[in-house]
Copies of this chain bind each other. A is one copy, B any other.
Amino acid sequence: MDDRMGPAGTEDVDADAEATTAGPRRPLDQMRILRAAVEFIDVNGLSKLTMRRLGAHLGVEAMALYRYVPGREQLLDGVVEMVMDELYETTNAGGLSTSWQEYLQMQAHAVRTIAVKHPRIFPLVATRPPSAPWLRPPLRSLRWVESFLQGLHDYGFRPKVSVAVYRSFATFLLGSLLLESGTLEDLTITEKVNLAFIEDDDLSSYPMISAVTEELKDGGFEVEFEAALEDLIERVTVMRS
């Protein structure tokens, strides 16, 4: 069958009269599994996601999942597609833009929203091999890219320029948001312990670092993101000419 998984058909019509809490009586389906996987990773982290635990989470033995999902790797691909679809919807919900600058801003913020909402999934979006070699994570869904190119076209971008913008945009988002999502991942207790161990490292032997620890700790991802976005937009202005 469809060996590539992913939320293609959004057949979301059956909200049976079954209580949510009672027993998971209605049969499994791919959508339900993918949604459960997304939630599971959001809560417990990727490393805790096993077929067996996901099955348990759905009230089923692991083996039952294989009717709907070819395997763990494809499950993860499906999770990524799931999150990308979320992006696509966010993106098309937020009313029309009146300039290409606004359009890029809106797209950038949409991607950032996803990264902040799913900090433990974003690394997957960023690093899984995309379905075609010319796709650039995190902007890796054909549907999204198509719509993006269309958008730029409508603002009068020539095709070659649009491709260049797509690339710069992806690079910018990947760098900024992977870093930010990294800081947002909830750390497990043991990881925290490890950090505490390391944090007051022999930092005394790094005088330049010691001199600026305060500003290093500052964070401020938000303003940095906006500033970098402004820069990107200016670069695009140059490309366009």
Contact = CB atoms under 8 A, between A and B. Distances in A.
Contact of A168 (B187, B197, B206, B228): B228
Interface residues of A, number: 60
A132 to B, nearest CB: 6
A96 interface: no
B126 A209 contact: no
Contact of A171 (B168, B176, B195, B235): B176
Contacts of A134: 213, 216-217
A78 interface: no
Interface in A198-222: 198-199, 201, 203, 206-209, 211-213, 215-217
Task: Give this chain's copy count.
Answer: 2
Dominant SS among interface residues on chain A:
helix
Contacts of A26: none
A159 B211 contact: yes
A111 interface: no
Interface in A166-196: 167-168, 170-176, 178-179, 182-183, 185, 187, 191, 195
A150 interface: yes
Contacts of A195: 129, 131-133
Contacts of A187: 129
Interface of A: 3-4, 123, 126-127, 129-134, 136-137, 142-143, 145-146, 149-150, 153, 159-160, 162-163, 167-168, 170-176, 178-179, 182-183, 185, 187, 191, 195, 197-199, 201, 203, 206-209, 211-213, 215-217, 224, 228, 231, 235
